[in-house]
Structure 1
Amino acid sequence: MTDSATLAGLDPTTLGDLLRVVGSPGFDRWQDQIRRTGGCSDPIHLTGSTKTLDRATGTVLHAYSTDAEPGGRLRVACGNRRASRCPSCAWTYAGDTYHLIRAGLVGDETKSTPTTVRDHPRVFATLTAPSFGPVHNRPTHGRCRCGVHHLADAPELGTALNPDTYEYGTAVLWNNHAGHLWRYVTIYLPRELAKRAGITQRELKEQLRVSYGKVAEYQKRGAIHFHAVIRFDGPDGPDTAPPAWATYDLLTDALKAAAARAEVALPAVGDQPARTLRWGTQLDVQRIGAFGAGEDLTEQAVASYVAKYATKAAETTGTVDRRIGELAELDKLPDLPDHTRRLIRACWELDELYPDRRLWQWAHMLGFRGHFSTKSRRYSTTLGALRQVRADYRAAQQRAALGLPDPDENPEATTLTLAHWAYAGHGHTPGESWLAATIAREIQANRDTARQARAEIEAEEGDDWT
């Protein structure tokens, strides 16, 4: 067994379980289930049944029960957005985010956004955290303050030059309140626009609306920063054009002023001093171009960039991707970087002083408690709508396969579905996990091949922006 396991690249336990799964009577059906999840690494197990009836006659048109499934369970995708938890579901989430952001830039009538939004002024802004102390970095010119020229993948990048003086407490409190700072930007931006246009805020609302989509990203030092696509619309949203005076330069100037005004004041508590949390001085605002005609950022590049970070969290700093139940758990993480360990400890140490912020619950996120991907109501479609389109497509496929009536083609032939589902667990056995990962890689390889073929066709047709 050991020799066979070594040859297969698997440990004996995993190999033994793999042979059990492959040799089981329901293996083919198990494979079908996992392929339908896209190779999900932590599927949800359900037990239950469904029954589809003809609403008029009560005739049973179709019945299904998990009793006939492998292990008596149906496996469905976990839907986790974190790439560190489930690469397959994260790929789907990133794809949805890409289409959501892209629809707000190029327009898509199927996603409630007209194509005329391409003519609206829009920028890609990056708002960063302030300094909490010097860290190892790679400056554009010269060496780091430590006197070393660090390589791009150096593990010490982002860590404190002097941990004893680094403001770990302020760093985690800043992460914890970053969402509030962004909210203040959205409040102050219309005010700054109205001031520069020489009109009241009510008059501004009658002529102009601001839409946005944003994503959060962790810097190496463990501080959150936000990337935001910000767009001018007319008074009724993307369906109307903004006034002529609403220019790119106006948006840039007002955004910088709004970010400078945003602040959160924290009073002195216990041994902690009063703090005023603000954005860092590095605010980058770039114009988004439609076809890359001289602009640094194209619509596709921005959408891809935002989608990339929508599936990542604080794992880039070396932290864990699950909640830390008690501080003693850190003793079981010998590979946790010291800089990250100190940030996590700061969350726990400050939790009693700021109980309303629940810092201990977000210690694995280094204090950040906001949503990683958010948007304004009228920016474009929603993630929920995109998921519903996918669900409707699969439901139509299922109806066609079972020979059930299509309500769109025959409104009179209505059906009634009765369903009962119960949660029965999640995950894979060691052998199942190996097989699911293999299926996921196969699916991804097929996607990459199809994407490359599509790109070659588009290049031949001269379509270089879709």
Structure 2
Amino acid sequence: MAAKMNRSDFRQWAARTRALGGCVQPVHLRGRVEHLDPLTGEVLHRYTTSCEPGGTLRVACKTRRASRCPACAETYRADTYHLVRAGLVGGKGVPESVTAHPAAFVTLTAPSFGPVHARREKPGGTVQPCHPRRDAGKCPHGRRLSCTARHSADDPRLGEPLCPDCYDHTGSVLFNALAPELWRRFTLALRRRLAKAAGLTVTALGDALTVSFAKVAEYQRRGVVHFHAVIRLDGPGGPAATPPGWVTYATLAEAVQQAARAVTVTTPDSNEAPARSLAWGTQLDVRPITTTGELTDKAVAGYIAKYATKAAECVGTLDRRIRATDDPNALPVSAHARRLITACLRLGALEEMAELRLAEWAHMLGFRGHFSTKSRHYSTTLGRLRTDRTTHNQRKHEITTGRLPLTDEDQVLVIADWRYIGQGLTPGEVLLTAALTGTPLPPINPRDGSSA
């Protein structure tokens, strides 16, 4: 830190750090770019990284994972928040009339794969015992299937099976791997149920109704994913059209419940893991979204955006891929996560399971889907939000520097040469970045003391 602060280019380095918003794993590039007039060869603008501190240009990593870069993840979270909320109240190209369209906040959970330690709270906030059973017997492995502890929110036992040997680790990772397919089948079944309620065919439903949604995947402490989704019913073509009169929240809620109970997915069949049918769990939550009350558009958008920046780290697993040279028994993970990772590696080696790519996604406990997705008509896109932000920053730069912008009518020849040099910061630079920008430090892995 002292060496960095005593450099002659520290002020320039600090200014770039603030411009990056506190990114702690920036990408380092070296190169140049020139804007030329193709007719005269006149250099209209020239930039080279030789004028940057250390001769490299630092670019924000733009990761969505808070465990890797809290600053860039916060930008992703904010973009997701505005994307979700625009689909509920309008804005970002969505008309405000969308607030009158029926919308529901839906939570689809995973089935049980065995009892686990859980924190159970009453509506008033009183914590109840985990699994209080006076007559609970013992499992085949000699463990008592009861727990009278009142777990705290940070208890490391949360999510751990009462009996690790009885817990269905195979079923857990297979559900994670097939959860995206189960969601796809749910959306198809939802449209069939709505068509049936209207007395239409599924093909004709599109001429009367559009089903729009935005969803996010969340890891439960036991290591399985469940989905939170905003589902909205629009008229034909999207949010600008009014849905037909027969469409109400009650119609949507009933269709969601029926579709969730109807869909299943079958796992690949193998001698080591026979085929099984997987479905959503019994805990299905469907609630209306309103502009006032407990479940408002702001609350829903904030809830979904929060989980868009998280992954499987809450389960105690790694925040990187499992390498071929890694010893599963030596990984700095929890005992439950180790069993789930081992199950992924074991099943991933089977030819029948090759399409699930379990070994490649063992660090995610088998889940390989996108964490946040939306339908085409729900609202704006993350790409559009990023483009608008880039345009805003360019205009701000033009005002600050006084340089005339290159309009669309300008014929400009751009010659660029960039090379990747590396990524990240030294420990001292991380501390300076946090001090300069006020952003939080990256989480520390409690098992090995290293930064995530």
Q: Could you tell me the TM-score, scaled by structure 2's length?
A: 0.88
- 1:71-110 counterparts in 2 under 5 A? 71-108=54-91
2:449 maps to what in 1?
none
Q: Measure how far apart 1:397 and its partner are.
A: 2.3
Residue in 2 aligned with 1:303? 301
In the alignment, the residues of structure 1 paired with residue 412 and residue 326 of structure 2 have an alpha-carbon distance, to the nearest angstrom, of 55
Note if contact 2:266-2:277 (Cα within 8 Å) is conserved in structure 1: yes
Would the aligned equivalents of 2:21 and 2:437 in 1 still touch at CA under 8 Å?
Answer: yes
Corresponding residue number in structure 1 for 2:19: 36
Q: Does the aligned pair in 2 maintain the 1:38–1:443 contact within 8 Å? A: no
Compute the RMSD of aligned alpha carbons: 1.9
Aligned counterparts of 1:401 and 1:329: Cα–Cα separation in 2:
53
1:71–1:366: structure 2 CA closer, same or farther, 3 Å change rule? same
CA distance in 2, matches of 1:305, 1:388: 25
Partner of 2:179: 178
**Cα contact 1:45–1:76 (8 A) shared by 2:** yes
Greater Cα offset, 247-256 or 59-68: 59-68
Determine if contact 2:20/2:59 at 8 Å carries over to the other structure. yes
CA 1:267/1:44 → structure 2, altered by over 3 Å: closer, same or farther?
Answer: closer
Instruction: Give the 3 Å change call, closer, same or farther, for CA 430–153 of structure 1 in structure 2.
Output: closer
Secondary structure of the structure 2 residue equivalent to 1:434: helix
CA–CA distance in structure 1, aligned partners of residues 398 and 36 of structure 2: 13
Letter aligned with residue 77 of structure 2: A
**Which residue of structure 2 lines up, in the alignment, with residue 126 of structure 1?**
107
- Which amino acid is 1:395 matched to? Q
Cα distance per residue 1:93-127 (max 9 Å; x no partner): 0010001001101101xx22111100100010000
Q: Distance in 2 between matches of 1:436 and 1:329?
A: 34
Change (3 A) 1:102 1:283: same
Aligned-partner Cα distance in 2 for 1:66–1:162: 58
Offset, 1:263:
1.2
Distance 1:40 1:442 in 2: 9
User: Retained in 2: the 8 A contact 1:40–1:440?
Assistant: no
Q: What is residue 14 of structure 1 aligned with on the other side? A: none
- The answer to whether residue 366 in structure 2 is matched with residue 383 in structure 1 is no
- The answer for the alignment partner of 1:426 in structure 2 is 423
The aligned residue for residue 129 of structure 2 is: 143
Structure-1 separation of matches of 2:409 and 2:117: 69
Where 2:211 maps in the other structure, the secondary structure is strand
* Whole-Å separation in 2 of the counterparts to 1:288 and 1:327: 49
Number of corresponding residues:
419
What's the secondary structure of 2:216's corresponding residue? strand
Shift of the 331–438 alpha-carbon distance from structure 1 to 2, 3 Å rule, reads farther
Q: Distance in 2 between matches of 1:195 and 1:346?
A: 41
Q: Which stretch shifts more, 47-56 or 201-210?
A: 47-56
Which of the two has greater helix per residue?
1
Q: Distance in 2 between matches of 1:163 and 1:327?
A: 26
Unaligned runs of 5+ in 1: 1-17, 445-466
Pairing of 1:6-85 with structure 2 (within 5 A): 18-54=1-37, 57-85=40-68
Specify the alignment match of 1:216 in structure 2: 217
Report if aligned partners of 2:70, 2:439 keep a CA contact under 8 Å in 1: no
Residues 31 and 207 of structure 1: is their aligned pair in 2 closer, same or farther, counting only changes over 3 Å? Answer: same
Instruction: Indicate yes or no: 2:345 matched with 1:348.
Output: yes
Tell me, which stretches of 5 or more residues in structure 2 are unaligned?
123-127, 132-146, 442-452
Structure 1 residue 315: deviation in Å? 0.7
Structure 1 residue 443: deviation in Å? 9.5
Which residue number corresponds to residue 315 of structure 2? Answer: 317
Structure 2 match to 1:246: 247
3-state SS of 1:322 partner: coil
> Partners in 2 of 1:412 and 1:361 — Cα distance?
47
What is the alpha-carbon distance in structure 2 between the residues aligned to residue 388 and residue 355 of structure 1? 38
- Matched residues in 2 for 1:306 and 1:56: separation? 52
Q: Secondary structure at 2:360's aligned position in 1?
A: helix
- Do the aligned partners of residues 349 and 412 (structure 1) sit closer, same or farther apart at CA in structure 2, a change above 3 Å counting? closer
2:71–2:439: 8 Å Cα contact kept in structure 1?
A: no
Q: Is the 8 A contact 1:327 1:345 kept in 2?
A: no
Taking a change above 3 Å as real, the CA distance of residues 148 and 413 of structure 1, as seen in their structure-2 partners, is closer
Distance 1:328 1:200 in 2: 53
SS in structure 2 at match of 1:179:
helix
Question: How many angstroms does 1:47 deviate by?
Answer: 0.8
TM-score for both structures, normalised by structure 1: 0.86
- How many Å apart are 1:352 and its aligned residue? 1.3
What residue is the counterpart of 1:460 in the other structure? Answer: none
Q: Is the CA contact 2:77–2:305 (under 8 Å) kept in the aligned structure 1?
A: yes
Residue 318 (structure 1) shift: 1.2
Greater mean alpha carbon deviation, residues 430-439 or residues 30-39: 430-439
1:258-337 correspondence runs (5 A)? 258-290=259-291, 292=292, 295-326=293-324, 328-334=326-332, 336-337=333-334
More displaced stretch, 177-186 vs 435-444: 435-444
